[in-house]
Amino acid sequence: MKRRIEVGLLYSRSGSYSLISEACRTGALAAIAMVNADPRLDIHLVPVERDPAGNVDLYGPLCGEILGETSARHVVGCVTSWSRKEVIPTVEKFGGTLWYAVPYEGFEASDHVVYTHACPNQHLLPLLDWAMTSRGRRAYLAASNYIWGWELNRLAREVLTSSSGEVLAERYLPIGSPDVDRMIAEVRFSRPDFILNSLIGPSSYAFMAAYHELGRADAHFRPETCPVLSCNMTECEFPALGDHARGLVAAGPYFRGVSGWPGGASFGSSHEAAAFAAVRELARLLAHRPGAETESLTRLLASDQGRAGVIDPETHHTTLPVIIAEARDGAFHVLQHLGSVAGDPYLTRSRSAAAAQPTLRVVS
């Protein structure tokens, strides 16, 4: 008989970032089905789902509902950093673990969170190195007005200014706002070498559409001259972007059809792949260890030393491939593959030849 283990899923199936949520949910459910179908494993995972519907105020209570009213001690979920930070006090209170499968801004290492997607030394810094080497050092920074955008732009400023670069402007939109006209006007006036797009959801889709039209009117703003860079856009958002994704240069650990992802499976996007990897690693930690599902993350990882674990026991980040790719004809094509890089959330290790060490600070 397989042990029955409940696992929480906390993804919004509607709202500004529902495409990313659905990709993560798809990956998590696929991994649960794979685990349950594997006769070699002695566990059967049962998903316990809650849908915050894009309302950040519901993430903490719904996570508490999962951990307080079911036997689940592990929750796979959250998309925005805002929602993740809302959930962390809840998983701390209940002694649970959040498995977070979306790129984020770094400067965090919780005893109750596992980070299975990229942090800045695995996405932003390599992407800026590529841009400064191949396009130039004059940047326009566009972002949604919350922690992801604030921190990516802060790091981008530090990298650019320490490398004799220049930030021409830095602008923010409320999450979900499509009002990009002022941004586009400033881009047209300042004529940067590249744009770092840290907008999310409809804001990003509106910006990409308007920028595509700007490129049709002025050749300087075509991808080969002034590309848009992103650390969080993947194939799962192509349905909303359409042809406006053409020329987008993105950094990530996985793109559809690219080899090198741990496990070797094929996924629709890195969001799907990272959520799949979260459930697969959780299953590996729990399999053939009766009672392990009730243990803390710290104890789980301590008892896993010497096995095939991929989670850093100190920071709970993972080692991932670092890939720079360009969107063309509805798919990403690799520009650079930098191999596997360990997650370094506080940038304590040497960064890159193009950038000096920043002054570090913890972001709460």
Q: Which residues of 179-202 are buried (b: 16+ CB within 10 A; e: fewer)?
A: ebeebbeebeeeebbbbbbbbbbb
Report the alpha-carbon distance of residue 228 to residue 36 in Å, rounded: 41
Beta strands in 262-318 (DSSP E): none
Contact, 131 vs 192, CB < 8 A? no
- The stretch 180-195 carries a mean pLDDT of 98
Q: For the ranges 31-45, 187-201, 253-267, which has the lowest average pLDDT?
A: 253-267
pLDDT at site 264? 66
Question: 94, 145, 148: which is closest to 119 by C-alpha?
Answer: 148
Q: What is the pLDDT of residues 241-291, one digit of tens each?
A: 999 999 999 999 999 988 777 766 789 999 999 999 999 999 999 999 999
pLDDT over 60 at 356, yes or no: no
Name every residue whose Cβ is closer than 8 Å to that of residue 17 and which is 6 or more positions away in sequence. 54, 79, 80, 200, 201
- Region 202-231: mean pLDDT is 97
| 145-184 per-position pLDDT tens digit | 999 999 999 999 999 999 999 999 999 999 999 999 999 9
Q: 334: buried, middle or exposed (CB in 10 Å: 19+, 13-18, 0-12)?
A: middle
**Alpha-carbon torsion (106, 32, 272, 75), positive or negative:** negative
Mean pLDDT of 218-227: 97
Kindly tell me if the per-residue pLDDT of 107 is higher than 90: yes
pLDDT for residue 243: 96
pLDDT of residue 364: 38
Mean of per-residue pLDDT scores for the chain: 93
Rounded to two decimals, what is the model's pTM? 0.94
More confident residue, 231 or 265: 231
- Sheet containing 43-50: order of strands: 43-50, 3-10, 74-77, 97-100, 113-115
pLDDT band for 307, please (50, 70, 90 cuts). Answer: low
Distance CA 83, CA 75 (A): 13
pLDDT at position 309: 67
Q: Among 84-88, 303-307, 348-352, which is the least confidently predicted range? A: 348-352
Quote the pLDDT of residue 361: 41
- The pLDDT of residue 226 is above 50: yes
- pLDDT average, residue stretch 194-217: 97
188 in the Ramachandran plot: left (φ > 0), alpha (ψ -120 to 50) or beta? Answer: alpha
Residue among 145, 134, 191 at smallest CA distance from 166: 191
Give the model's confidence band at 358: pLDDT under 50 very low, under 70 low, under 90 confident, else very high: very low
pLDDT number for residue 200: 94
Question: How much is the pLDDT for 263?
Answer: 65
Cα 157 to Cα 178: distance, rounded to the nearest angstrom: 25
Q: What are the chain's domains? A: 3-118+261-318 (3.40.50.2300), 121-255+320-342 (3.40.50.2300)
pLDDT tens string 88-98: 999 999 999 99
